Amino acid sequence: MLGIARPCSGKQASQQVLAPCVSHPLATRAALVSHCRTLSPSQRAPHRLGRELLRHRELRGGGCTARAAAGGEQYVDLKEFRIEQISFGKILTPVGVVLLSYGFASYFNLLPSTPLSAIIVVTGFPLTLLGFALSYAQLEPVPCRSTQSAIDARESQMTDIQRQVREDVTRYRYGDEQHLDEALARVFMFGRPSGIPRRLSPRLKGVREELLDGRYTLVLEFQTRKDMTKDMWDTRVDKIQTFFGPGIAAEVNHGDKGAVDVVLKCDGSGQGRGGPAQKDVLMPLVPGGKARQQKQAQ
């Protein structure tokens, strides 16, 4: 007897249609859209589900599973924890609101009153204000994608300034307008005759850690303004190298839609590495200057 094919469910149809596209590790949204145009109307419905699944995968993994590094190596999912990556504004605000609300409600007998009602109100009010202030002034960290080979090369090749830049941009900051604001102001000389207007200041969107030519490399991903030209970047490569140096070789790569990658690759000289006795490393005040360092007491 001839078997009668049963209609597939939406999930099964999506898996069949998307199998050659979504399962590929380098699948992108553009590839899915192009593939979708070749399908019949009955096949496009499950394909919309696949595009949403891909979007969820990109947002969840930061694009790590859908993109590969320059050498073909996949980005890994980092599970490191630092206290600086916690938003204190998001913690203090709800705690203060809960204490303040309960304190007022118990004070006016809307809830069971306690002898500590006044203390709860006094405690909740400043916590709420502090939480709102920190939430308003906070600058969220940018995503960081790393390859396993770059992670392994950190201890042996990463310079102190590379380490400081990576740690600074991947944590919450308070009171700053944007990440690397001081560095951009020094390099582009905002508002000066030989500089550019501040309104053209690029925005840092993310960082990557890769291993290029066997050297640890920190890539800063910027999004430029519409009126910012390539020449504004290319003529300042030397300033970028001296500002983030010593011990690195800098280059600027231009992408599509205003994307610019500033590549900071270790030059193999070993300069710029202060060793384990280093307590804190600050970027130089002027391009080419010596990094400011605070050493631990012996």
Q: What are the residue ranges spanned by the domains of the chain?
A: 86-138, 144-295
Range list of H helices, 110-180: 117-137, 148-152, 154-157, 160-169
b/e burial code for range 133-142 (CB count within 10 A of at least 16 → b): ebbeebbebb
Half-sphere exposure of 133 (CA within 13 A, CB side): 7
pLDDT given at position 253: 94
Q: Is the pTM of this model over 0.75?
A: no
Name which residue leads in pLDDT, 110 or 232.
232
pLDDT given at position 121: 85
Give the span between the Cα atoms of 289 and 200, in whole angstroms.
25
Residue 21 has pLDDT above 50, yes or no: no
Residue 114 has pLDDT above 60, yes or no: yes
> What are 219's strand-pairing partners?
208, 263
Mean pLDDT of 126-132: 91
Residue 63 has pLDDT above 60, yes or no: no
* Token reading at 221: 């991903």
For the ranges 91-100, 153-162, 167-176, 247-256, the lowest mean pLDDT is seen at: 167-176
% pLDDT > 90, the chain: 28
pLDDT given at position 274: 75
* Token reading at 166: 């990576």
Give the pLDDT band (50/70/90) at residue 23: very low
Residue 15 has pLDDT above 80, yes or no: no
Residues 6+ away with beta carbon under 8 Å from 210: 69, 70, 71, 73, 146, 147, 149, 150, 217, 219
How far, in Å, are 63, 72, 73, 178, 267 from residue 68 at the CA level? 9, 5, 6, 27, 23
pLDDT given at position 159: 93
Are the C-beta atoms of 266 and 163 separated by less than 8 Å?
A: no
pLDDT given at position 59: 35
Are the C-beta atoms of 245 and 273 separated by less than 8 Å?
A: no
pLDDT given at position 177: 78
Average pLDDT value for the chain: 74
pLDDT given at position 71: 58
Give the span between the Cα atoms of 55 and 72, in whole angstroms.
22
Mean pLDDT of 49-70: 41
Give the span between the Cα atoms of 181 and 174, in whole angstroms.
13
Phi-psi region of 43 (alpha: psi -120 to 50; beta: other; left: phi over 0): alpha
Name which residue leads in pLDDT, 80 or 243.
243
SS3 label, residue 253: strand
pLDDT tens digits along 179-225 = 888 889 889 988 888 888 888 899 999 999 999 989 999 999 999 98
pLDDT given at position 68: 53
For the ranges 17-21, 56-60, 82-86, 186-190, the lowest mean pLDDT is seen at: 56-60
